[in-house]
Amino acid sequence: MSVLKITGENFENEVLNSSKPVIVDFYADWCGPCKMMSPVIDKIAEELGEEVKVGKINSDENMELAEKYGIMSIPTIMIFKNGNLDKTFVGVTDKTSIIEAIK
């Protein structure tokens, strides 16, 4: 499964109304640690396939979402289940921890 581009316009539909768990990566193009997380997020999307949705939100382009969810530092990975925020990881995080949080 490919990684979705999530914006303020599609956030409610793709994340809050999703029947599957959703991994959301808040990032910015200029952020070094975010670039380190990008292949990890891609690998999770590939490995979990249809079990989950995986999306990225550019926090510079979607400041209202970053503000709403209290993003103070990036990368921030959030896991939503049934439309509710279930778990948050701040900074570079290993793939295993994210996958365990989803299950």
Per-residue HEC secondary structure of the chain comes to CCCEECCCCCHHHHHHCCCCCEEEEEECCCCHHHHHHHHHHHHHHHHHHHHCEEEEEECCCCHHHHHHCCCCCCCEEEEEECCEEEEEEECCCCHHHHHHHHC
Q: Which of 28, 31, 40, 90 is catalytic?
A: 31
Q: Which of 22, 24, 34, 57 is catalytic?
A: 34
Higher pLDDT, 103 or 37: 37
Across the chain, mean pLDDT equals 93
pLDDT the model gives residue 49: 82
What is the average pLDDT across 46-73? 93
Q: How confident is the model at residue 23 (pLDDT cuts 50, 70, 90)?
A: very high
Kindly list the structural domains of the chain, giving each domain's residue range(s) and its CATH number in brackets, ordered by start: 4-102 (3.40.30.10)
pLDDT the model gives residue 50: 86
34 is catalytic: yes
Predicted confidence (pLDDT) at residue 1 exceeds the cutoff of 80: no
Give the predicted TM-score (pTM) of the model: 0.93
Neighbours of 50 (CB within 10 A): 7
